[in-house]
Structure 1
Amino acid sequence: MEKYTEWEKEINEIISQVEGEVCINFYDLDKNDGFSINGDKKVLSASMIKLLILAELMKKNSENKLSLSDTIMIKDFMKIGGDGVLKELNSGHHFTLKELATLMIIVSDNQATNVLIDFLGMENINQLGRELGLKETFLGRKMMDTEARKNGYDNYTCADDISLLLKLIYQEKLINKKASQLMLDILLRQQQRERLQRYLPSDIKIAHKCGDLDNLENDGGIIWLGDKTYILVILTNGMSNLQCKQTIGKISKFIFGKMEEQ
């Protein structure tokens, strides 16, 4: 559409003012139309990969291979650094699979993530990605595994893949209706708000997942604006983390303003 060509021009102007790399996918869920800028480019996923892990958990639950109320006891050897709250707790607590999944998403808990990767199996998670038609999304290592990174293993995605996952959730087609509704409910409770929402009204309704590494910030979500709903995924790297967050915020504010005008 002609208006999207104009939007892309203005977004490219924002991108031209920064040194790093920016990948974007925008999709209007009401008009079933959108655009992407470098949306198919393979980049480091950071914690965005946790969306696919969540989907595999829901798949196994839908196949009755597990119950989300099943529990896992947290042990000392599971402790790792980075984001999360489990590392701060004493070992011996039992958490349900649903609680671990919730922590993995809303506070990006790395320990909960690794417990789920071990429980589900890395290959099963990647197989689901292939079945869903994801082009560049791949889980190659557990969270905080610096040794694996040194040996060339990492986690990847692209903006188009994240947009597809979010679209399937919104359309209640990721695994099935019940699974999609549960995933949406968890994403709506996300506690990290420094990227897509950075310059938006504080009461904005958004279901999203973000992630970061050194000089890399990613965020992707479903955003509600009155009776309009859209997906925006922005993956950035190659500049300071603050610049990355500000760039995501500026582009998100621009799209929000354009949607508001419609």
Structure 2
Amino acid sequence: MSAGTGAVGRIEAEFRDAGVHGRLHALDLDSGAEVAAGADEAVVLASVFKVPLLVAFFRRAAAGELDARAQVVLPPEARIAGATGTSVLLDEVRMSLRDLACLMITVSDNTAADAVMDHVGLDHVNRAMAELGLDRTRIVGNARDLHASMLADAGADDAAALWARLGEPGVLARLSALDPALATRGTPREMTRLLAAVWRDEAAPPDACALMRRMLGLQVWPHRLASGFPYDDVVVSGKTGTLPTVRNEIGVVEYPDGGRYAVAVFTRSRSTASAQPRADAVIGTAARLAVQALRAGG
């Protein structure tokens, strides 16, 4: 059931004003009403891929195929590019798999995500998505693979050199990580369906889904989806994704009256700047407009 036809025009205008190409899907988890703006276009997931990985992790744990409490040792040489969590630490880390999973969601820890991926397996992530009916969601590698591909495509030695070269002719177009035909990908609609499965206890057993909801609710970033709902009694759970020109977030917005809305917003900017406050903010604005339309009933 579609809702918010007028809201779609406002959402698209907000995307244009922010200098981004945006795609959105919002879903009322109880009524099934939706707001869609390019919801079935293929999009680059960036770090949003950690949500499919999280689901696959808990599904394998529930099936007895891995131990969520198993201790993992991360030596300093295991660190990969990233500005959060274990990725920035200097010494050896020992932590359970499920706590690493928590870090990969709450602070988007790339090193933690790859440790979880090592135990889950890439094929099992894609199998889990297929079993949930998300046929257009495809994970092609881990965070290390993503980082390595961008450096190779740009001919850069490190992240600083990569960002410095983005403005050079042809460099951005060569980054396969930004091409939905080649990179880890999905659609806004499939991402809200994935969140709906977690919130409805369909993605894994109820206790596992409860843990996933807890982790998504602890995400620390307030500048995208959560910025559209600055109210003490509205709970926003989510996961961001960031790459050059790419700003994404998927999440669930829960109101005190029981209303629950899954929202997926994916943007691609014309600017190559690393700091893009307008692109960040429009994610919250677009999400708010979509949820308002759902709550108004059309």
Cα distance between partner residues in 2 of 1:260 and 1:133 = 27
CA RMSD of aligned residues (A): 2.1
1:36-71 CA distances to partner (integer Å, 9 max, x unpaired)?
Answer: 211111111111000011011101111112221111
8 Å contact 1:83–1:107 — kept in the other structure?
Answer: no
Structure 2 counterpart of 1:255: 290
Secondary structure of the corresponding residue to residue 198 of structure 1: helix
Cα distance between partner residues in 2 of 1:90 and 1:219 = 29
Cα distance between partner residues in 1 of 2:213 and 2:3 = 30
Secondary structure of the corresponding residue to residue 190 of structure 1: coil
Structure 2 counterpart of 1:190: 219
Q: Which runs of 5+ in 1 are unaligned?
A: none
8 Å contact 2:237–2:253 — kept in the other structure?
Answer: yes
Secondary structure of the corresponding residue to residue 219 of structure 2: coil
Q: Evaluate the alpha carbon distance shift between residue 3 and residue 136 of structure 1 in structure 2; reply closer, same or farther with a 3 A threshold.
A: closer
> Quick one: which of 185, 202, 208 aligns to 1:173?
202
Q: Evaluate the alpha carbon distance shift between residue 65 and residue 3 of structure 1 in structure 2; reply closer, same or farther with a 3 A threshold.
A: closer
Secondary structure of the corresponding residue to residue 112 of structure 2: helix
Structure 1 counterpart of 2:119: 119
8 Å contact 2:4–2:294 — kept in the other structure?
Answer: no
Structure 1 counterpart of 2:240: 210
Cα distance between partner residues in 2 of 1:260 and 1:39 = 19
Q: Give the superposition deviation at 1:251.
A: 1.1
Q: Evaluate the alpha carbon distance shift between residue 41 and residue 209 of structure 1 in structure 2; reply closer, same or farther with a 3 A threshold.
A: same
The letter of the residue matching 2:149 is A
Q: Evaluate the alpha carbon distance shift between residue 220 and residue 180 of structure 1 in structure 2; reply closer, same or farther with a 3 A threshold.
A: same
1:78-132 CA distances to partner (integer Å, 9 max, x unpaired)?
Answer: 1112132213334432100110000000000000011111121111111211221
Structure 1 counterpart of 2:171: none
Cα distance between partner residues in 1 of 2:36 and 2:143 = 28
Secondary structure of the corresponding residue to residue 226 of structure 2: coil
8 Å contact 2:247–2:279 — kept in the other structure?
Answer: yes
The letter of the residue matching 1:222 is V
Q: Evaluate the alpha carbon distance shift between residue 93 and residue 209 of structure 1 in structure 2; reply closer, same or farther with a 3 A threshold.
A: same
Q: Evaluate the alpha carbon distance shift between residue 34 and residue 260 of structure 1 in structure 2; reply closer, same or farther with a 3 A threshold.
A: closer
Q: Give the superposition deviation at 1:11.
A: 1.8
Equivalences for residues 24-39 of structure 1 within 5 A: 24-39=24-39
Structure 2 counterpart of 1:233: 264
Q: Give the superposition deviation at 1:19.
A: 3.7
The letter of the residue matching 1:52 is P
8 Å contact 2:74–2:93 — kept in the other structure?
Answer: yes
Cα distance between partner residues in 2 of 1:80 and 1:166 = 28
Cα distance between partner residues in 2 of 1:136 and 1:173 = 19
Secondary structure of the corresponding residue to residue 83 of structure 2: coil
Cα distance between partner residues in 1 of 2:92 and 2:230 = 41
Indicate the larger mover: 51-60 or 152-161: 152-161
* Matched residues, number: 262
Cα distance between partner residues in 2 of 1:110 and 1:117 = 10
Q: Give the superposition deviation at 1:139.
A: 1.5
The letter of the residue matching 2:63 is E
8 Å contact 1:50–1:104 — kept in the other structure?
Answer: yes
The letter of the residue matching 1:216 is V
1:206-255 CA distances to partner (integer Å, 9 max, x unpaired)?
Answer: 12111111111101111112212111111101234323212212212323
> Quick one: which of 224, 228, 238 aligns to 2:254?
224
Cα distance between partner residues in 1 of 2:82 and 2:270 = 20
Q: Give the superposition deviation at 1:199.
A: 3.8
Structure 1 counterpart of 2:78: 78
